[in-house]
Amino acid sequence: MLVPGSAAADPKPTLPQARTKVADLQHKAEEAGEAANDLRGEITAATRRVKAVSAGIRKQQAQVDAVKKQIGSLAVAGYQQSGMTTTAQLLLSTDPDQFLSQASTAQAFAGQQSTALRRFQTAQGKLADLQAGERSELAALQAVQAKQGELKKELERNLAEAERVLNQLSAAERAKLEAEAEEEARKAREDRPDRSNDRTGEDIIDVPASGRAKIAVDYALAQLGDAYVWGADGPSSFDCSGLTMAAWGKAGVSLSHSSKAQINEGRQVSKANLQAGDLVFFYSPISHVGIYLGSGRMVHASRPGKPVKIDSIDTMPYAGASRPG
C-alpha cells in the first residue's frame, strides 16, 4: 500500500541514460549562460548612461549652488538698502542728488535679484529633470541585472540537477565517467600547438587560414583541453563566446561576449562558403558559437563538463556563420 502524500524515489538511471540526461542539462546550462552573456551589452550601456547622468547632475548642482550663492549676496546688499522708506531716506538725505543715485542702484539690485531668482528656478528645474532621469536609468540597469541574475540561477540549477543525476550512479560508474572526461581533455591537449607566440615548425593541425583569421585560429587551438567555465574568456578557461571573443581579440578584432551578438558583428557567410576562422553558430535561438577550421570541423568551448575541443559542425543544429574583421 502507498502512504498518502509519499512520493516514489527517482529510479536509478543506467549509465547511458545518465550520460544523455547530464548532457541535456549541461546544454540547458549553457543556453542560460549565453542568454546571461547577451545581457552584458545592455548592462554596460545602462551603466554608461547612469554614469553620464550622474556627471550631469554634479555639474548642474554646481550651477544651482553658484546661483544660490549669488542670490544670497544680492539679498544682503538689498537688506542693507532697506532700513527705511524711500521717502524718509530722501527727507533725511543731506545730498538729494547722491540719494537719487543710490536709489537707482537699489532698483538695479532688485532687478538683479529677480534675474537671479529666474536663473535659480531654471537651474533647479534642470537638476530635478536630471535626478528623475538618473532614477529611471538606475531602475533600468537594476532590471537588466536582475534578469541576468535569474539566468545565472537557472544555469546553476541545471548544473546542480546534473550533479544530482550523477550522484545516483554507483561509485564505479562515476569513476568511469570521470575517467572518460579526463581522457577527452588529454586527447584535446595533445592536439594543441605550443601556446607561445613565437613557436616555430608546423602546427599539429593544418588549418588553411591566413592573416587575422590565422591568428584567431592559432589562439583557439592553443586552448584545446581547457575547461568550460561560464563567463570565462581566458587565459585557462572559457565559455563558447568567451573563446571566440578572446581568439579574435588576439587578432585585433573586438567582439561582444555573446554568441547571439557575435553573429551580427561580422559579414554573414553561407555554409557553402565557410573559411577557416569564420564563426559558426548553433541552435535557435542562437546559444553556441565555435571557430571554423575547414573540412567541416570547428574548435569550440563545447559545454559545461567538456573541454575546449575540435568537433564536426554537424554535431549540433547549425544556425549560420559570420566572418569577423
Each residue's pLDDT tens digit, 106-121 = 555 556 667 877 888 8
pLDDT at 7 (0 to 100): 46
pLDDT at 141 (0 to 100): 93
9 vs 126, more confident: 126
Residue 264 inside a domain? The answer is yes
Examine the domain organization and report whether 42 and 159 are in the same domain: yes
Domain residues for the domain of 314 are 205-323
Give pLDDT tens digits for 200-238. 334 446 788 889 999 999 999 999 999 999 999 999 999
What is the percent of the chain where pLDDT is above 70?
81
Task: Give yes or no: 213 in active site.
Answer: no
Domain limit, last residue, from 100, 134, 163: 163
Examine the domain organization and report whether 293 and 217 are in the same domain: yes
Q: How many domains does the chain have?
A: 2
Residue 261 inside a domain? The answer is yes
Residue 4 inside a domain? The answer is no
The active-site residue out of 155, 185, 240, 286 is: 240
pLDDT at 90 (0 to 100): 45
Residue 305 inside a domain? The answer is yes
Domain limit, last residue, from 107, 142, 163: 163
Assess whether pLDDT exceeds 60 at residue 104: no
Give pLDDT tens digits for 276-291. 999 999 999 999 999 9
Examine the domain organization and report whether 154 and 52 are in the same domain: yes
Examine the domain organization and report whether 119 and 212 are in the same domain: no
What is the percent of the chain where pLDDT is above 90?
68
Residue 255 inside a domain? The answer is yes
| Arithmetic mean of pLDDT over the chain | 85
Examine the domain organization and report whether 43 and 158 are in the same domain: yes
12 vs 322, more confident: 322
The active-site residue out of 27, 192, 288, 303 is: 288
Examine the domain organization and report whether 45 and 159 are in the same domain: yes
Average confidence (pLDDT) over 52-57: 94
Examine the domain organization and report whether 314 and 249 are in the same domain: yes
Examine the domain organization and report whether 123 and 214 are in the same domain: no
Examine the domain organization and report whether 217 and 315 are in the same domain: yes
Residue 215 inside a domain? The answer is yes
Give pLDDT tens digits for 60-101. 999 888 888 877 776 655 554 454 454 444 444 555 555 555
Task: Give yes or no: 300 in active site.
Answer: yes
C-alpha closest to that of 123 among 51, 67, 54: 67
Examine the domain organization and report whether 129 and 214 are in the same domain: no
Furthest-apart CA atoms within the chain: distance in Å? 118
Output b/e per residue, 50-74; b: 16+ Cβ within 10 A.
Answer: beebeebbeebeebbeebeebbeeb
Average confidence (pLDDT) over 159-172: 94
Q: What is the band of 175 on the pLDDT scale with cuts at 50, 70, 90?
A: very high
C-alpha closest to that of 245 among 26, 31, 27, 37: 37
Grid cell for residue 16: 547511458
Q: Where would I find the beta strands (DSSP E) of 232-287? A: 237-238, 267-268, 279-282
Examine the domain organization and report whether 248 and 139 are in the same domain: no
Examine the domain organization and report whether 53 and 126 are in the same domain: yes
CATH for 268: 3.90.1720.10
C-alpha closest to that of 240 among 222, 254, 226: 226
pLDDT at 202 (0 to 100): 43
Cell 550520460 sits on residue? 19
- Under a CB-based contact definition with an 8 Å cutoff, are residues 306 and 263 in contact? no
Residue 90 inside a domain? The answer is yes
**Cα distance between residue 166 and residue 60, in whole Å:** 59
Beta partners for 267? 323
Q: What is the band of 197 on the pLDDT scale with cuts at 50, 70, 90?
A: very low
Least trusted range by pLDDT, from 32-46, 68-82, 308-322: 68-82
For the entire predicted model, the pTM comes to: 0.73
Task: Give yes or no: 288 in active site.
Answer: yes
**Cα distance between residue 42 and residue 44, in whole Å:** 5
Domain limit, last residue, from 142, 163, 184: 163
Residue 83 inside a domain? The answer is yes
The active-site residue out of 257, 260, 297, 300 is: 300
pLDDT at 124 (0 to 100): 87
**Cα distance between residue 261 and residue 45, in whole Å:** 14
Least trusted range by pLDDT, from 191-200, 218-227, 296-305: 191-200
